[in-house]
Amino acid sequence: MILKTAPHVHIETFGCQMNESDSELVRSMLKREGFVFTEDRERADVVLVNTCAIRENAHKKIYAHLIELKAIKKQRPLVVGILGCMAQNLKSELAEKEPLIDVLAGPDAYRQLPSLLTTALDEQEQGLTQKGFALDLSEYETYEGIMPDRNSGVNAWVTVMRGCDNFCSFCVVPYTRGRERSRDPKSILLEARDAAARGFKQITLLGQNVNSYRHEEWDFAGLITAVADAPGIERVRFTSPHPKDFPPALIEAIATHPKICKHVHLPLQAGSDRILELMGRTYTGAEYLTLVDRIRSTIPDVVLSTDIICGFCSESDEDYQATTRLVEQAQLDSAYIFKYSERKHTIAARKYADDVPDHVKGMRVAQLVDTQRRITLDRNRRYIGKDVEILVEREATRSSTQAMGKTDGNITVVWDKGTGGFEPGTLTTKHIVDASAATLYGK
């Protein structure tokens, strides 16, 4: 069927940077087929929800969102599509329990979206309710040849690989995004140069484990160096590596290339060797600390951040204290700390009991957050009295009289607009006069 008018699409994205990047691909593919995007959900003929399956809170937000869409759909015609990891992981549950959903599409099926949505709109016009599903995982799909449709801003996400082969026992990614495959470096460099030509000053390279990037003779150290050499790019970041295989060549590239940011996000997950083994992380706490020392000895001004899960299956008080001790030893600059939430189809869900009470998980998270906040405050105070270079991003969240940006180490800096340096995408230098556990204050 040829649609009589161009359908208006509203897309809402939840979860990680990879989902943000995928939404940009979706916009590009649908626009090529005549769909029009709108920021106003009330004007949309189609609402797409790009979902995350990593944590329980993400699920709760999305289910609450579906309740809103159900109310809208009772009032007027609307096609609802669920995309991403939750669509892939909970396809049966969503198809059976959520009759308002017209289209389900997993992360490897976005090329099919134009035809799925066209069919759904046609069916709706005829009063039919047949659903369209595209949920097969691919060993090859990397969306080569599709240039993302990016919103304006300072940073451009560039996905360098898809999927994951690590199979950490708590993680659903291999089951929602498939096995690991790397993109052709030529297309990555083309995309980075295109982003630079469009005014983006920072590139963030994305992959579930970027250390594993391989394409013929290319490794990740060579790739990030080539991207950093692209004219017009001021900064290059990447996320996320895995501590099990952090190559010396990548550490050296970060240390020596002026455009590669001196920031490494290095997920820890737990400090107990017993829990790390149950998680399938393939390193010990001592090996993690050795890697931290190796990175810091080569890059003295590096900023290190991490992820930690509290309350994984069978985690005892002793296991939790081991994590606390390692956090104290490592003195990392910041940490994202979460309660363990069981994900369907993971190894942990099949093999281990989720037996740590929720209130214990919450207490451990709160205590560890307090510990890390103290460490972060101490590390941020080292910048007081120093001049730091900042990439300006936007107006500050809490005050229209202030601007905000990020240091090379990805630390947020806020300053009064009146002191100058408020052109997004430009580099400015500020003298740091104060610090909190979340922010540096400059003038």
Q: What is the pLDDT of residues 243-270, one digit of tens each?
A: 998 999 999 999 999 999 999 999 999 9
- The reported pTM is 0.93
Is 310 a member of any domain?
Answer: yes
Does 213 score more than 60 pLDDT?
yes
Cα angle: 129, vertex 13, 142; to 5 degrees: 90
Residues 22 and 127 in one domain: yes
pLDDT tens for 418-443 read 876 689 999 999 999 999 999 999 99
Residues 371 and 390 in one domain: no
DSSP H or E stretch at residue 339: strand 334-339
Q: What is the average pLDDT value for the chain, to the nearest integer? A: 93
- Give the residue among 162, 219, 156 at the shortest CA–CA distance from 190: 156
Structure confidence at residue 1 (pLDDT): 43
Structure confidence at residue 129 (pLDDT): 65
Q: Is residue 291 helix, strand or coil?
A: helix
Is 141 a member of any domain?
Answer: no
Count of structural domains, the chain: 3
Is 254 a member of any domain?
Answer: yes
Is 1 a member of any domain?
Answer: no
Structure confidence at residue 356 (pLDDT): 98
Inter-residue contact 244 to 281 (CB < 8 Å): yes
Indicate the residue among 381, 402, 422 that finishes a domain. Answer: 381
pLDDT tens for 264-290 read 999 999 999 999 999 999 999 999 999
pLDDT tens for 335-390 read 999 999 999 889 999 999 999 999 999 999 999 999 999 999 999 999 999 999 99
Write the CATH number for 399. Answer: 2.40.50.140
Is 35 a member of any domain?
Answer: yes
255, 261, 263, 265: CA torsion to nearest 10? -110
Q: Which domain, by its residues, includes 312?
A: 155-381
Is 44 a member of any domain?
Answer: yes
Residue with the bigger pLDDT between 399 and 254: it is 254
Name the least confident of 14-18, 79-83, 232-236, 338-342. 14-18
Report the distance separating Cα 273 and Cα 298, nearest Å: 26
Indicate the residue among 381, 396, 421 that finishes a domain. Answer: 381
